[in-house]
Structure 1
Amino acid sequence: MPDTQTSAPCLLEARQTGRQASDGQWLNRNLSLRIDPGDRIAISGPTGSGKSVFLRSLAMLDEIQEGTILFHNEPVRDKQIPEYRSRVIYLQQRPILIEGTVESNLQFAFQFQVNQHKDHNPATIRSFLESFGRPDSFLKKKSSSLSGGEGQIVALLRALILSPEVLLLDEPTSGLDPETTEQFESIILQWLESSEESPAFVWITHDRSQAQRLADKVMRFPSGQVSNHLIPES
C-alpha cells in the first residue's frame, strides 16, 4: 500500500521539530505542520510561546536540534538552502531595506545568483503598486523616507515578485494602519488566487478577526495543535 502522506503533493513539512537555546533549554519541541498547495495557515498563541522561533526554523534561518524539515517531500541539504530561501520566503515584522530607492530595493532581490533566472516583470510591480494605491513615482522614493507601513509594502512586493511557493509571515501587519492592513491582506489573497503554482502562506497573527478572514487552518501555540476550525470570536 503506498504511503499517502509521502506521495500526496506537499510543499513544506515540519516533522516533530525542536529548537534549543544556547543554554540547552528547549524553546519549542515536537512541532509538526504540513503545508499543501493553496494552504492558508494562521499561527496563534500568546507572546513568548515560540511562534516566531518555529517560523524562523521553517525558513531555515535558525537550525533545529530535533526533527526534520521536508521540501517537496525531501530533506533540504545545506547546499540547497539558498535556493530553498528563494522559494520559501520569510517576511519579518520589521522590514530590512537597503539604501536607495524603492525600485533599487526591488531589483536587489534579483542580484542573487539563485534569483537571476526569475522573471523581473515591471507590469507585475505596477499591478501590485496599483493595489496599494501607489503611483509609479513611488518607485523613485528613497527608502530612508518611507514610513513603517510603506517599508512593509516594499518588503512584501520584494517577496512576491520572486514568486515564492510558500510565504512565511511574522505579524507583518502589526504596525500598519487599518487601511494599509486591508490592502496588504488583499494583495496576499490576490497573489494566492492569481498564481498558477498554488502557493501557500503561514501567517503569525494575534488578531482573531484577521485569522478568520484569511486562514483555513490554525496552528495554536504552545501546543502546536493544528485545526481546520478557525479561532472563534470571544
Structure 2
Amino acid sequence: MPISYLPQQSGITPLLTVQGLGRQIQHRWIWKNLQFDLHPGENLAITGASGSGKSLLLRSLASLDPIQEGHVWFQGKALSTYAAPYYRSQVIYLHQRPALIEGSVEDNLRQVYQFKSHRHQSFDQDQILAYLSALGRDDSFLLRPSSALSGGEAQLVAFIRALQLSPQILLLDEPTASLDLETVYALETLVHYWQKTDPNRATIWTSHTSEQINRVAQRQVHLQPLGS
C-alpha cells in the first residue's frame, strides 16, 4: 500500500519532500533517485547542464507530468492525495515561455479567476499596480495587448499572474531569461518581498546564470548526467 502521510521529523514538516524521484525518456534515465526537502521560507535552486532535465523536474513537482519513479509529498501528504486543481493552485510552475490568451494584460490576469480552484479569490487591482510598480511598469501596462508583448514582458505577466494567487510554492523556470538586468533585480526583490509577507512560502529556481543562483538560493540540488 502506498504511503499517504510522511512521518514528521524534528517537529517540522517540509513544504515539499522528494524521495527516490526518477524520470525516463525513450528508455534513458534523465535523473534518478533524487531526494531533497523544501522548507517554509526557503529558496532552492535546481542546477545542471543544458538537457539535464531541470524543467522536467519542475513540471513533475507541479504535477504537470506523471511521477514515473519515487514519491512527492506536499505538507506531509502524498501528492496523489490532493485533487490536481487544488495542488496546482498551491504549487505553481512558471514556464520559460509562458502562454497568454488573446486580449490585454489585465484580461490575462483576470482570466485565472474563472477557474474553480480560484473562484474564492478576486482580482485586486491595487495589489497588481503595486507589483507593476515594483517591476518598473505603470498602470498603462495593463492595457497592452498580449500580442504586442516582448518575451520578457510576457514573463512578467505570467509572474504577476502567479503571484496574485498566493501559492505556497513558486517553481520559477528561468523566470528572468528575457529580462534586462534592472528588471531581473526588481523581480528578485519582489520575490523576496512576497516571501516576507508569508514566511511559509518557498521557491525553487532554475537559471542560466550562476550569479543569479548565488543571489537567490540558499541551497542547490544538482542534476548529474546519468548517460544511457
| TM-score between the two structures when normalised by the length of structure 2 | 0.91
Q: Where do 5+ consecutive residues of structure 1 fail to align?
A: 225-234
In structure 2, the residue matched to 1:12 is: 16
Code of the aligned partner of 2:143: K
User: Could you list the per-position Cα deviations for residues 23-76 of structure 1 after superposition, in whole angstroms to 9, with x for gaps in the alignment?
Assistant: 332221101121110011111111111211111111111112111111111112
Distance in 2, Cα, partners of 1:5 & 1:106: 39
Distance in 2, Cα, partners of 1:43 & 1:76: 20
DSSP 3-state at the match of 1:37: coil
In structure 2, the residue matched to 1:218 is: 220
Distance in 1, Cα, partners of 2:126 & 2:13: 31
User: Structure 1 residues 223, 71: closer, same or farther in 2, change over 3 A?
Assistant: farther
Percent identity of equivalent pairs = 44
Distance in 2, Cα, partners of 1:142 & 1:78: 39
1:28-43 paired onto structure 2 within 5 Å: 28-43=31-46
Contact 2:19/2:71 (CA < 8 Å) preserved in 1? yes
Contact 2:90/2:168 (CA < 8 Å) preserved in 1? yes
Distance in 2, Cα, partners of 1:78 & 1:38: 24
Match of 1:203 among 202, 205, 215: 205
1:55-204 paired onto structure 2 within 5 Å: 55-77=58-80, 80-193=83-196, 195-204=197-206
Shift of 1:182: 1.5
DSSP 3-state at the match of 2:59: helix
Contact 1:15/1:32 (CA < 8 Å) preserved in 2? yes
Q: Where do 5+ consecutive residues of structure 2 fail to align?
A: 1-6
In structure 2, the residue matched to 1:229 is: none
Match of 2:29 among 26, 40, 61: 26
Equivalent pairs, count? 220
Distance in 2, Cα, partners of 1:135 & 1:175: 20
RMSD over aligned Cα atoms: 1.8
Shift of 1:198: 2.2
Higher mean displacement: 28-37 or 154-163: 28-37
In structure 1, the residue matched to 2:3 is: none
Distance in 1, Cα, partners of 2:168 & 2:97: 22
User: Structure 1 residues 12, 223: closer, same or farther in 2, change over 3 A?
Assistant: farther
Contact 1:19/1:63 (CA < 8 Å) preserved in 2? no
DSSP 3-state at the match of 2:83: helix
Contact 1:16/1:68 (CA < 8 Å) preserved in 2? yes
Contact 2:169/2:201 (CA < 8 Å) preserved in 1? yes
